[in-house]
Amino acid sequence: MAILVREGMKVLVQGITGRQGTIHTKLMLDYGTNVVAGVTPGKAGTEVHGVPVFDTIEDAVREVGPIDASIVFVPAPFALDAVVEAVDNGIPLVVVITEGIPVHDTAKFVAYAKSKGTTVIGPNCPGIIAPGRVKIGIMPADAFAPGPVGIVSRSGTLTYEISISLKEDGYGSSTTIGIGGDPITGLNFIEVLEMFKDDPETKAVVLVGEIGGDAEERAARYIKEIGYPKPVVAYVAGRTAPPGKRMGHAGAIITGGQGTVESKERAFREAGVPVAKTPFEIAPLLEEVMRERGIS
């Protein structure tokens, strides 16, 4: 079992006829993801790579039955509407790829989804993949191999980099989740760590953080306080980022002396979590901690 996703689950694509929506519908289908429907208002009756397109999610559900997960590609000004539509149609998991959504909109749809029992991944994220089984996201398939490592990350490409380097060293992933680079996201590190803790397939966790906020410090405190039962290796990007400047991701900014790499690394070390200096040091550190704990 992976976390949050399973093979064969029925996936809907919101914004399926846009450039990104079209490309990634194809790539998800190629990966074996069961994409059953797409929504783009005004495009009902058309198809994208054989996937039927509907005007509304209600129409899609009427035709293909209940949906297990939705992936959102719609432009930022319409993302709030898209997520609320997914939630109102009882979709339990919504993956928001869209970048540049106003933080007040995100706060609203995250709160709304929570109140209705829907899990939101993202926004501004690469999505989720259970290698070899299902991909609801935009990550390149060949960067990921199945295996025992849970990966949770605030970034996209950097996660692929780390996954490739793990793969080269013989480590695959149970589930990899990009929680997103915005200040407010549907899932945070602690929530994902909780899920990995209870997932029998996950034997170790790689946590990829970056500057800004204190989510990494909180995750470190959580690991220490509950005596997290699985080994964790961390990496934090942004050591050379100047304060007060937003580093691409809306959430990657050091403000008032808070959110530095130093503070995050210190918190991890205090929690007994080894910290990699470069993305390529993660694999050797992982090998070390897994050997120490007798996990192969």
Instruction: Give the residues lining the site for another protein (CB under 8 A).
Output: 19-20, 23-24, 76-77, 100-105, 107-108, 110-112, 115, 138-140, 142-143, 153-161, 164, 181, 183-185, 188, 208, 210-211, 213-215, 218, 237-242, 245-252, 256-257, 277-280
Choice between 44 and 222, CB closer to another protein: 222
Cβ neighbours of 23 (radius 10 Å) = 14
CB-CB contact of 10 with 57 (8 Å): no
49 counts as catalytic: no
- For 186, the 3-state DSSP assignment is coil
Least CB distance from residue 71 to another protein, whole Å? 14
CA distances, 186 to each of 96, 103, 107, 294 (Å) = 9, 12, 9, 34
Which of 59/161 has CB closer to another protein?
161
The nearer residue to another protein, 123 or 148, going by C-beta atoms, is: 123
Least Cβ distance, residue 218 to another protein (angstroms): 7
Nearer of residues 146 and 183 to another protein, judged by Cβ: 183
Phi, psi of 127 (to 5 degrees): 100, -155
Q: How far is the CB of 290 from another protein (least distance, A)?
A: 23
Q: How far apart are the first and last CA of the chain?
A: 18
Place of tokens 């970034």: 155
**CB count, 10 Å around CB of 65?**
10
Q: How far is the CB of 19 from another protein (least distance, A)?
A: 8
Nearer to another protein, 54 or 144 (CB): 144
Residues 6+ apart with CB under 8 A from 85: 14, 39, 56, 57
- Report the candidate in 12, 134, 122, 128 with the shortest Cα–Cα distance to residue 62: 12
| Nearest CB to another protein, comparing residues 85 and 105 | 105
If DSSP codes are grouped into helix, strand and coil, which group holds residue 211? coil
Shortest distance, position 200 Cβ to another protein, whole Å = 29
Q: Long-range contacts made by residues 240-244, C-beta under 8 angstroms, separation at least 24?
A: 241/211
State the Cα–Cα distance between residues 106 and 98, nearest whole angstrom: 11
Element (H, E) at 109: helix 103-115
**Catalytic residue annotation:** 249
